[in-house]
Amino acid sequence: MELLHRFQPHALTFATLVLMCGNSFAANPNQQPEDEWKFTLKNAYINRNFDNDALKDTGSWSQAASLFYKSKMHDTPLVIADKPITIGADASVQYAVRLSSDKHVADTVLPFNKETQSQASDFLKYGATLKLGYDKTLLSVGELWLDLPVTAVDASRQLLASYWGTNLKSQLSDQLYAEIGRIEKVSPRNEEDFKKFSFTSNGITKESDGLNYIDLRYQFTPSLKGEYYFGNLEDLYNKHYVGLEHNWKQPNFALTSKFKYFNAKDDGNTFDIDAQNIGVLETLKVKNHTFGLGYQQIIGESAYPLPDGFLPETYFINWNATGFFKEDEKSYHVMYGYDFKDYVPGLNAMVKYV
């Protein structure tokens, strides 16, 4: 399937993965009744053959084993208004080994040494998180798994990117959920260590001391919810996001409508950034069949900015293994999916053209 007409790469990926992170809405962030362990094995073969002879073919074959742990919240002796302060800890270890020969070219999957022009034979990522809770509020410090604009977790390659910082989540009411945070570092999917955020444009790279953000989600009605996000990547740019989602359920079908608007603007330093993204998506589910149609357009005076480290904007309507964020770019997608629950429970298949 041709995804990018300008490059015409061909990619094949096989993966089996269970993610810890999710995008749940209107749930108590302080609820973790039991310890949770997740062990995953993932075999990934990714290969890109470019029609342009000036571009080297990229890719690798690798095997990963990862262990994720989330502890339940334990009561402490500290009590406020008859409610205890709780404590917990999370941890993760991810390891991958290259099975293919070294292609001596960066593939965004494995670490790459620019001096020796070689792919790493293996790599290891790990982290830990301290959690403090009270009522329906949770404070997390350390490694964070975020599903937000700017800071998403991408499972399209091998190991997962994670973030280092502090965030506070609270279910303020049955309808309103709020999250604020400061993220100081990122560990990209193809690197072992945590490092500062950075952004590169026209050969110029500048680092940021951190990302400050707020995320608000509101359930207007049982079928309509909205989200607002603001993120300030210090010394680089600001991002706003507004999203609406409506679900219309009928006895024989269900229709989900999504509208998304993004606005990115530089803060007056170094880069000229002025970009917006408008996207709509309609998804129709009839019994085991799912049909989808989406459209997205980038408008403004620049491409939509993405931090270095192959950090995707998975909130976009059109974001797959590759992204669509170029200046004035328009993209649409059609999708068909089938749920094999009547034959093989848990098996789903999907075909998408962008």
Higher pLDDT, 268 or 164: 164
| 3-class secondary-structure state, position 10 | coil
Residues 2 and 124 in one domain: yes
Residue 167 domain-assigned (yes or no): no
CA angle 75, 81, 83 (to 5 degrees): 20
Domain membership flag for residue 171: no
Is pLDDT at 8 greater than 50 in this prediction?
no
In a domain, 302, yes or no: yes
Together in a domain, 139 and 250: no
What's the rounded mean pLDDT across residues 202-207?
A: 91
Are residues 260 and 137 both part of a single domain?
no
Q: Say whether both 307 and 213 belong to one domain.
A: yes
Which tens digits make up the pLDDT trace of 315-343? 888 876 567 788 889 999 999 999 999 99
Strand ranges, E, within 209-273: 211-221, 224-233, 237-249, 254-266
Query: Do 75 and 206 belong together in one domain?
Result: no
Do 136 and 210 belong to one domain?
no
- Residues 138 and 206 reside in one and the same domain: no
User: Cβ distance 305 to 275 under 8 Å?
Assistant: yes
Angle in degrees, CA 344, 350, 354, rounded to 5: 175
Q: In this model, does residue 10 exceed pLDDT 60?
A: no
Domain match, 210 and 314 both: yes
Which of 194-198, 221-225, 305-309 has the least mean pLDDT? Answer: 305-309
Rounded CA Rg of the chain: 21
Identify whether residues 348 and 238 lie together within a single domain. Answer: yes
Measured between alpha carbons, how far is 246 from 228 in angstroms, rounded to an integer? Answer: 15
Please answer whether residues 271 and 242 qualify as being in contact, where contact means their C-beta atoms are separated by less than 8 angstroms.
no
In a domain? residue 208: yes
142, two tokens: 């350390």
Provide the number of structural domains found in the chain.
Answer: 2
Q: How confident is the model at residue 1 (pLDDT cuts 50, 70, 90)?
A: very low
Q: How confident is residue 2, by pLDDT bands cut at 50, 70 and 90?
A: very low
Domain region containing 78? 1-146
State yes or no: pLDDT of 119 exceeds 90: yes
Q: Are residues 109 and 219 in the same domain?
A: no
Classify the C-alpha dihedral 116-119-122-128 as positive or negative. positive
Task: Specify whether 117 is located in the same domain as 9.
Answer: yes
Q: What is the CATH number of the domain that holds 278?
A: 2.40.160.10
8 Å CB contact between 89 and 129: yes
Q: Which of 131, 146, 161 is the last residue of a domain?
A: 146
Residue 232 lies in a domain: yes
Give the distance from CA 148 to its chain's centroid.
7
The answer to whether residue 210 sits within a structural domain is yes
**Inter-residue contact 92 to 163 (CB < 8 Å):** no
Asked if residue 136 and residue 244 are part of one domain, the reply reads no
